[in-house]
Amino acid sequence: MTTTAPTSTDAPPTPASHYTLAVLAMGLGGFAIGTTEFVTMGLLPQIADGVGISIPQAGHLISAYALGVVVGAPLIAVFGAKLPRRALLIGLMAVYAACNLLSATADSYGVLLGARFLDGLPHGAYFGVASLVAASLAAPGRRGRAVASVMLGLSIANVIGVPAATWLGQQAGWRAAYVAAAALAAATMLMVLLFVPSCPGDSSATGRRELQFFRNGQAMLTLLAGAVGFGGLFAVYSYIAPTVTDVGGLPESAVPIFTAAFGVGMVAGTWLAGRLADWDVFRTLIWSGVASGLVMLLVWATAPLGWALLPAIFLVTATGSVLVVNLQLRLMSVSGEAQTLGAAMNHASLNLANALGAWLGGVVIAAGHGYRAPALVGAALSVVGIGVLLWSAAIHRRTEDQPAESSSASRS
């Protein structure tokens, strides 16, 4: 079951030098989004103290952001499909900057919870539109790498942006991290305006046509595989700070190093994903799911061993990032005419995984099983995700066999 990156012709060819700057500009948006999304996890104890709640309750802030992505991706994709794509990217970053500032100035848990939900709204649509633009600018046969390059901003954020923002939040207060993320979003707006070429929207798009996406069985199964299979990463990452300090016995100053390991794993996995996509998208999804499940067991085993946990944390996001990029490519391939919605829904699916993983992790912790237990939850979610992908493959094979059987029957 081979799947390759889709062909997109929505934008005119762009010179190579401009292409590099355009991808860099869109990748900066991914850097801004990744920094603010994941820094919440690194600063969870500080945020909990700041608004007077428990750490498991603070985990709901992660879920609120993720649910914002789930809600925002289809709404913005449906209503924004006709809009010029460069203008849409700038508008989405403007909303992102404003909501980060609202998070930084929130004076209560309720306001902060609402701000995190609103901040998630532009997330999925931004990555979906940026992926379509990057694919349309790339040479044929290199569109998988173009999409991976945009995603690389999200990965690099976890190497540089998240550790730096975590350190900033520890030194200057957690609110400073959200102010920094707002500044990154503003910088992205300028970069996109200067370097991304004018890209028209889909003039033939209609709400009804885009919503046909939700009647596409293969697209729905792909979304389900991402929502479940990727949840394990967030079950672990959401509680990385107390896992490092309470289970591993390391000082608080070690937390940014572990968040950096997450980021390095993301960069390595995203780079590898673009190459594996040229081999076979679907098989890559299966094998990355298997690897993810095994790595979750490794996290559970090494969590009490302090620094021995560090390589396992690297592998968590390396395997997860391979999954992310190839889910994006598969959705763009199976979405038919609903390209904008299909591209955007990948991050809705992944942030549903974020909400699911953070919630299930909090459930097992609150039940008294400790901060190692989310890794076992993650392993179980990986197994279920693989099962969904195999179900998708079985349906695909059965659908392909039906025309051949019908033709044989008519000849007889």
Domain extents in the chain: 16-200+214-404
Q: What is the pLDDT of residue 393?
A: 81
Q: What is the pLDDT of residue 107?
A: 84
pLDDT in tens, 371-390: 888 899 989 998 898 888 88
Q: What is the pLDDT of residue 258?
A: 86
Q: What is the pLDDT of residue 202?
A: 65
Q: What is the pLDDT of residue 58?
A: 83
Q: 16-200+214-404 domain in CATH 2.60.40.10?
A: no
CA distances from 292 to 141, 286, 351, 381 (A): 28, 10, 17, 10
* Residues lower than pLDDT 70 in the chain: 1-17, 139-142, 144, 200-208, 210, 277-278, 336-337, 339, 399-412
Give me the residue label for tokens 């999409």: 147
40, with CB counted inside 10 A (0-12, 13-18, 19+), is buried
Q: What is the pLDDT of residue 204?
A: 62
- Closest-CA residue to 118 (of 93, 145, 100, 135): 100
Q: What is the pLDDT of residue 397?
A: 77
CA pair distance 83, 366, nearest whole angstrom: 45
The answer to whether the beta carbons of residues 336 and 48 sit under 8 Å apart is no
